[in-house]
Amino acid sequence: MTTNAQEFASAQAIMPGGVNSPVRAFGSVGGVPPFLVDAHGAHVTDVEGKQYVDLVMSWGPALLGHSHPAVIEAVHRAVDHGLSFGASTADESKLARLIANRMGGVERVRMVSTGTEATMTAIRLARGYTGRDLVIKFAGNYHGHVDALLAAAGSGLATLALPGSAGVPAAVTAETLVLPYNNREALVAAFAEFGPRIAAVIAESAPCNMGVVAPEDGFNAYLREITAQHGSLLIIDEVLTGFRASDAGYWGLTGRVEGWVPDLFTFGKVIGGGMPAAAIGGRQEVMEHLAPLGPVYQAGTLSGNPVATAAGIATLEHASSEVYAHIDARSLQLQDELTAAFNAAGVDHSIQVAGNLFSVAFGTSDAGVHNYADAQAQEGWRYAPFFHSMLESGVYLPPSVFEAWFLSAAHDDAAMDRIVSALPAAAAAAAA
Ligand code: PLP
């Protein structure tokens, strides 16, 4: 048997940081990440044989729980017929219809493999459709590692953005405006100055990558209103929230109730059920600007891959109203338990909630977190000791205070009991 430490050292000797995606390196909490060998139900197991209750759930895809029998069986069935055809299959349209039938305004769907590809394509499509170049995004909203969206706010409210990563050309982010989230005045100012040049506004349906930050009441509807006024497109990113916050994502709790649809949605995570699948969906007139019908180029060797498609179909077909009711109830239960544990330990905090998605923030009880500046101003250092205490007790949390916690249909009473019994010690660690 090897240890996590041995595996991490071995990984660091061949892969930058020992990982294939940065947050897995535990940079913000320190220590050695568990190297996993198995994921079933609400649990993951590491190379040392230690089992954890999982609250990462592959960062969202495992809505039904890890290795749900129906998903595994669908994958086995698909694998028996081949891994990849590079040609069309009937199941691709089936998955596209499962997505479209649950959402409003999704008249056409294009499958891709990752959320990053979906948002990258949505931006290109918006620019190609409108013939305009500028894109508005919000600080603290994450849309994958698309050059144009790895942008940091400039100094003023409506200034063109600066690169948010080395290697991103300033010329690329000069076409992006980064605005403070939940701030209508900033939008008004940006549209007043740049309106005829703005191709699109892109926003997470509910931001979950600066911790969870709910859009204020009517904020997404206002995005719809102001973009429509100026002939810009609205792209609602449901990669994380899609088919998780409700059967129709976070849009199901906002636009469906309020009666509006964006021009384009992006999806990922749950629609692949743990396999690489993502999508762009939206208004036919816009979507038909994509190749081969239109002039906006987009393609993918593995797009609509039959194994990923099978996993996605099985996941959506089993994502029943009972699944959402279960996750909603578990989410409320855990929020209550967290509040009780932190209050007992005297830890100032807020539970940041958007539908059934939530995260914790520290030192924020008076006003909560409404934008990226609030998220950054919190006592984030309290998270590492909290996280490590939970890990020690066998609960695997997201290794950063800026990530949402993920529940699933497989989080049963026994899993919840393990989480709840670990909380008092972890809250005490956060208090120190
Ligand atoms: N959009 C949102 C809202 C996300 O949370 C993510 C990933 O976490 C992405 C896009 C990028 O998706 P992927 O990691 O599949 O490229």
Residue 181 sits in the same domain as residue 81: yes
Task: Indicate if 312 and 328 belong to the same structural domain.
Answer: no
Query: Does the CB atom of residue 400 touch ligand 1 within 6 A?
Result: no
Residues 79 and 216 in one domain: yes
- Going from the Cα of 431 to the center of ligand 1, the distance in angstroms, rounded, reads 32
Whether residues 196 and 47 share a domain: the answer is no
CA of 153 to the centre of ligand 1 (A): 20
Ligand 1: distance of its center to the CA of 278 in Å? Answer: 9
240 and 291 fall within a common domain: yes
Q: Which of 208, 269, 280 to mutate to test the pocket of ligand 1 (most atoms within 8 A of CB)?
A: 269
Q: What is the total count of domains within the chain?
A: 2
Give yes or no for residue 209 CB within 6 A of ligand 1: yes
DSSP alpha helix (H) spans, 21-148: 69-79, 90-102, 115-130
> Could you tell me if 213 and 298 lie in one domain?
yes
Q: Please identify every stretch of the chain with a pLDDT value under 50, giving residue numbers as ranges.
A: none
β-pairing verdict for 278-282 and 108-112:
antiparallel
Which of the following is catalytic: 129, 142, 181, 324? Answer: 142
Which residue puts its alpha carbon closest to atom 1 of ligand 1?
143
Q: What is the 3-state secondary structure (H, E, C) of 188-216?
A: HHHHHHHHHHEEEEEEECCCCCCCCCCCC
CATH of the domain at 337: 3.90.1150.10
Tokens (6 digits) for 97 = 């219809």
CB atoms within 10 A of CB 2: 10
Q: Quick one: pLDDT at residue 162?
A: 85
Same domain, 115 and 31: no
Q: Compute the Cα dihedral for 285, 290, 292, 294 and give only its sign.
A: positive
The C-alpha atoms of residue 138 and residue 54 are separated, in whole angstroms, by: 30
To the query of whether residue 137 is one of the catalytic residues in this protein, the response is no
The answer to whether 142 is a known catalytic residue is yes
Looking at the fold, whether 380 and 307 belong to one and the same domain comes out as no
What's the 116 CA to ligand 1 centre distance in angstroms? 6
Same domain, 213 and 352: no
Q: What is the pLDDT of residue 158?
A: 58
Ligand 1 atom at shortest distance from the alpha carbon of 21: 14
Whether ligand 1 lies within 6 angstroms of the CB of 245 is answered as no
Domain carrying residue 417:
4-63+320-431
**256 lies in the same domain as 147:** yes
Q: Ligand 1 pocket test: pick from 56, 111, 143 the residue with the most ligand atoms within 8 Å of its Cβ.
A: 143
How far is residue 201's CA from residue 50's CA, in Å, rounded to a whole number? Answer: 45
Coil, strand or helix: which one is 13? coil
| Whether the CB of 116 sits within 6 Å of ligand 1 | yes
Of 95, 87, 37, nearest in space to 66 by CA: 37
The SS3 of residue 296 is strand
Type and span of the H or E element at 281 = strand 278-282
227 lines ligand 1 (CB under 6 A): no
Q: What is the pLDDT of residue 405?
A: 98
Query: For the chain, percent helix, then strand, then coil, each to nearest 5?
Result: 40, 15, 40
Last residue of a domain, one of 318, 338, 361: 318
pLDDT at 387: 98
298 pocket-lining for ligand 1 (C-beta < 6 Å): no
Domain final residue, candidates 286, 318, 350:
318
Among this protein's residues, is 237 annotated catalytic? yes
Both 165 and 239 in one domain: the answer is yes
**Distances from the Cα of 127 to the Cα of 175, 232, 283, 333, 421, angstroms:** 11, 9, 15, 44, 51
Task: Determine whether the shortest distance from the Cβ of 114 to ligand 1 is under 6 A.
Answer: yes
Report d(CA 211, CA 400) in Å as an integer. Answer: 9
Q: What separation in angstroms does the CA of 100 have from each of 96, 110, 234, 255, 387? A: 6, 11, 17, 15, 38
Determine if ligand 1 sits within 6 Å of the CB of residue 403. no
pLDDT for res 288? 98
Span from the CA of 62 to the centroid of ligand 1 (angstroms):
15
Looking up residue 200, the CATH number of its domain turns out to be 3.40.640.10
Q: Give the domain-ending residue among 290, 318, 346.
A: 318
Q: Which of 46, 269, 324, 383 is catalytic?
A: 269
Q: Which helix (H) or strand (E) holds 424?
A: helix 413-431
Tokens standing for 30?
């320190």
In sequence order, the β-bridge partners of residue 397 are: none
Separation of CA 242 and ligand 1 centre (Å)? 11
Amino acid at site 431: A
- Regarding whether 359 and 240 lie in a shared domain, the answer is no
Is the distance from CB of 202 to CB of 195 less than 8 angstroms?
A: no
Q: Checking DSSP bridges between strand 264-267 and strand 278-282, what pairing results, if any?
A: antiparallel
Q: Is the CB of 237 under 6 A from ligand 1?
A: yes
The reply to whether ligand 1 has any atom less than 6 angstroms from the CB of 204 is: yes
What's the confidence (pLDDT) of residue 306?
Answer: 98
Closest residue by Cα to atom 10, ligand 1, is 143
Q: What is the pTM of this model?
A: 0.98
Residue 423: which of 346, 327, 338 has the closest Cα?
Answer: 338
CA of 308 to the centre of ligand 1 (A): 17
Phi, psi of 247 (to 5 degrees): -60, -20
Q: What is the pLDDT of residue 233?
A: 98
Ligand 1 atom closest to the Cα of residue 114 is: 15
Verify whether ligand 1 is closer than 6 Å to residue 144 (CB atom).
Answer: yes
